[in-house]
Amino acid sequence: MDEIREQMNCRLRETLGDDTRRADAEQLVARVCDVLDQGDTSAEAVAETVREALASSLEQAEAALAQAEQTLRGRA
Amino acid sequence: MSVVGQQTWSLCSIEIHGFLGVGDDGLTVQLDRPVTILIGPNGSGKSTILEAVEWALFGITAVGAAGEELRTPNLDAHRMYIHRGSPEAAVHLEFAADGHALEWRRTRRHTKPRPGDDAVVCNLDGEPVVPDPNELFGVTGELFRRAVAPGQGALQALISGDKTKRDAALDRLFGVELLNNLTLGLSKARFDLESERRGLRAKLDGFRSGLRSEITRRFDERTAARSAALDGEATAEMLTPAAAAASAEALGSELEVAVETRGGDLATLRETFASLRTTADARWSGTGPGERETRLLEVAQTATAHRDRWQKAVSDRLDEETEFGSLVESTGTEEHLDMELGASKDKLAQLEASLNAMNSRIAVLSSAREWIAAQPVSPEEEIECPVCERPMIESELAGLIDVVLASLAGADGEASAVQERVEGARKQIRELSANLDAVSQKREQVGTLAKREQALATDIIHRLRGHAGQLPAQPDVVEAPVATLVKEVLLLGASIAPDGSSLPTPALNDLLGRLAVATRSALQQTQGEIAQTREAAQAAREKVLSLERTIRFLEAEAQLDELDSAVGNVELATASAALDAVDSGVETLLAVIQVADGVSQAEAQARIADVAPRLSSWYERLSSHDSLRGARIDVTTRRDRGGSRNSYSICATSDDGWETGAGPMLSGGYQTVLAVAALCALSDDERSRTSLGLLALDEPTQSLDPDMTTRMGHAVARINVPRLFLTTTEETFADAATEGAGASQVRVIRLRDWTAAGGTRTEGNP
């Protein structure tokens, strides 16, 4: 697993260079590899890990939209 | 411990108790030679012994052809390893390496069947060490299943007609299954995230679009409200809250209403407008002159229309009276006519009596004449007169009677004259009767008209009495003359006798005429006043309506401003920023997916590069085909469910370039040969990375004929591994392997048929 992690990070460095996304990508790779290291190697486990990693932004968007809907209804 | 990870460990002994088909009596397999062959019929427990090694080391075994680990919290699923009726399952392994001994024991109790609760003991040269296969042998469960003991499932998958199954088995055998799951999982996450992101983005866009649409509508409303405001008295400069407040204050002053504007606050202006409108409407509908006008209109109606009807009745009555006078003058009064009629009737009676008597005489004389003529006497004879009974000469008597009859009934006789006088009297009586009737009728008509005149006069007075009740006690200067005249009429009316005989027609007519004139004058003055009032009210009303239009415009503008600010509201900005973050996350994910795809493909290619020469070599050793002597393995990448999938091709090849893989062109036996060659090639490559000197091939002779079986036995027995563990149902294979490796190098262990009572047993065991 460490080998895979290293290969992916190496390729991320090659692909993204100094792009600000690289840190996020490496963090995502680390989270996914950690899950795989723990023994759950299914695609579902990987997908769920990624989903959790981006959950906060989605939840923030959902919450903001719900609040906006409520505000706009109040104005209508 | 210095030996760990540096030695190649050989499995020397397997001791099994209460595991799967092995009962509590147990089974021990000594692997004291390089090659161990387990031979036995189907179901005798050959694979169980291999599974015991895997279970002992890892606590679980591959499940089914897929070769996946059993991962479940279900206790019964973990309890299935314990032999039915046994309290526990235990497997004891012994390894040796360059004078070192390593013991490994796993025990699972029926009461605690989870792998984590197993008792695992590992002693190296008598000293306990951490029981970690990866640490001790460099082997994980996954590596064990693909490089050390691939199992029948792997072999069956490789010869399956299902390409997907073959690819999945090769992914697993190449060790890139993990990478595949990684890319698939990343792609699935991307799909889910993008779906969710699209939904949220659509929602955000919907809000913005809805707001834009609402703004357009409100803008149109504002434009319409502005046009409406400018159509009134307002100018563009007046369409401000401050100007509207000034207008409201000016209007309030004009209408004498206190107003509050609070510098143009819209809510306050709206309340002020409502108050001003109420006041203006009240002025418009009006009291004061309006009520007086109503009263005067009612009096005027009585003094003109009703008076006209009364005057018509008076005129009719006077005309009738004139006609009556003329009639009386020409015919005489009813009394006179009545007297004349009586006298005429008496005279007629006398004449009729005289005429009757005369007619009687004529009748008698006529009868006497007829009798004389009938008598049988000569004219000179004397006969007795039938009337006077005196004797007379018949001719003289007849002549006398003829003379008398001529004077009475002749053309100029007396009777004819009397008859004429009777007719004259009758005519006179008829004329007098007609005259009398005409005079009587006319008199009655005059009386009827007089009563009607009286009734109308009484009605007028009654109406005026009603009007007088509506008049104010202190009428103003306009209404005072009318009130006075009404009182005078009522005073005059009080003197009229109930039968109307005292009706003062001229006086009443005069008063009513003056009342009509006075009422008309008062009405003109009142209507003039009303027109002035209404004009002022109309002006005020227009100003109120203008103010309302201005307020509407200001409200529309305020709503528009509010919506404008809503477009940029904090929540939408936050949502937009959060979605941008999600977008960024998805982009990052895409980059990771591309990298994972690349690593997966590179890994597969690298493994292929390592394995390909070995595969061809192994196939050459195993195959007896006269043409297909070599083998080739390739991998390409295909897209599947949003991720990359490796697509493998394993083919047997000929020297002239012909090649064929699994399918009708390659027999089942050669497919098995190709699959075993692949397993051996893969194992060769992987085993070098571990320190466990073991290779187990579980029944590699499926679908092989005796010659192929023999060739397979010869070939696999030469695999260079410290411990080769083979299972088979074929004696031919065992013999060939023994021959291939040399009898001293091979231990053949035969298993009996499995029974429920005895479980798995070797022939040496009872």
For the ranges B1-15, B96-110, B532-546, B649-663, the one whose mean pLDDT is highest: B96-110
Q: Give chain B's radius of gyration (CA, Å).
A: 74
Strands (E), B158-277: none
Neighbours of B688 (CB within 10 A): 8
For residue B182, give the nearest of A46, A65, A75 by CB distance.
A46
> If one looks up domain B1-139+692-705+720-730+739-766 in CATH, what number appears?
3.40.50.300
pLDDT score recorded for residue B66: 46
Backbone φ and ψ of B759, nearest 5°: 70, -155
**Residues spanned by CATH 3.40.50.300 within chain B?**
1-139+692-705+720-730+739-766
Listed residue (B305, B321, B267, B329) closest to B448, CA to CA: B321
For the ranges B184-193, B473-482, B598-607, the one whose mean pLDDT is highest: B473-482
How much is the average pLDDT of B369-388?
88
pLDDT score recorded for residue B726: 92
CA–CA distances in Å: residue B651 to residues B341, B503, B666, B715: 162, 144, 9, 20
Tens-digit pLDDT profile for residues B67-77: 455 566 677 77
pLDDT score recorded for residue B379: 87
Flag whether pLDDT at B1 surpasses 60.
no
Longest dimension (CA), chain B: 228
Determine the Cα–Cα distance for residues B52 and B696; give it in Å rounded to an integer.
12
A&B contacts, CB < 8 Å: 144
Instruction: Inspect the interface and report whether the beta carbons of B578 and A36 lie closer than 8 Å.
Output: no
Is some CB atom of chain A closer than 8 A to the CB atom of B193? yes
Q: Find the DSSP H helices in B232-306.
A: 241-255, 266-285, 289-301
Q: Which CATH class is domain B291-470?
A: mainly alpha
Is some CB atom of chain A closer than 8 A to the CB atom of B178? yes
**Percent above pLDDT 90 for chain B:** 32
pLDDT score recorded for residue B440: 94
Backbone φ and ψ of B632, nearest 5°: -140, 145
The pLDDT mean for chain B works out to: 86
pLDDT score recorded for residue B764: 64
- For residue B698, the cross-strand partners are B727
Tens-digit pLDDT profile for residues A17-65: 877 788 888 888 888 888 888 777 788 888 888 888 888 878 888 888 8
> Which residue type does B649 have?
S
Flag whether pLDDT at B6 surpasses 70.
no
**Percent above pLDDT 70 for chain B:** 94
- To test the contact with chain B by mutation, choose from A58, A69, A71, A73 the residue with the greatest count of B C-beta atoms within 10 A, namely A58
Instruction: Inspect the interface and report whether the beta carbons of A58 and B189 lie closer than 8 Å.
Output: no
pLDDT score recorded for residue B329: 94
For the ranges B161-175, B471-485, B527-541, B617-631, the one whose mean pLDDT is highest: B471-485
For residue A46, give the nearest of B181, B196, B569 by CB distance.
B181
Determine the Cα–Cα distance for residues B88 and B118; give it in Å rounded to an integer.
10
Tens-digit pLDDT profile for residues B205-250: 887 787 778 778 888 888 888 888 888 767 888 888 888 888 888 8
Is some CB atom of chain A closer than 8 A to the CB atom of B594? yes
Tallying the residues shown for chain A, one arrives at: 76
Which chain A residues are within 8 Å of B190, Cβ to Cβ? 50
Neighbours of B511 (CB within 10 A): 22
CA–CA distances in Å: residue B352 to residues B366, B418, B426: 21, 8, 10
Checking DSSP bridges between strand B119-124 and strand B100-109, what pairing results, if any?
A: antiparallel
What residues make up the domain containing A15? 2-75
pLDDT score recorded for residue B662: 66
pLDDT score recorded for residue B3: 54
Which is more confident, B647 or B643? B647
Listed residue (B580, B756, B661) closest to B85, CA to CA: B756
**Residues spanned by CATH 1.10.287 within chain B?**
291-470
The sheet that has B88-97: what strands, in order across it? B27-30, B10-17, B88-97, B100-109, B119-124, B127-128
Flag whether pLDDT at B449 surpasses 80.
yes
Flag whether pLDDT at B638 surpasses 80.
no
Tens-digit pLDDT profile for residues B22-43: 988 889 999 989 999 999 988 8
Q: State which H helix or E strand residue B686 sits in.
A: helix B668-687
pLDDT score recorded for residue B618: 85
How much is the average pLDDT of B99-117?
90
Listed residue (B757, B723, B765, B754) closest to B741, CA to CA: B723
How much is the average pLDDT of B481-497?
89
For residue A11, give the nearest of B204, B584, B595 by CB distance.
B595
pLDDT score recorded for residue B487: 93
ipTM of model:
0.93
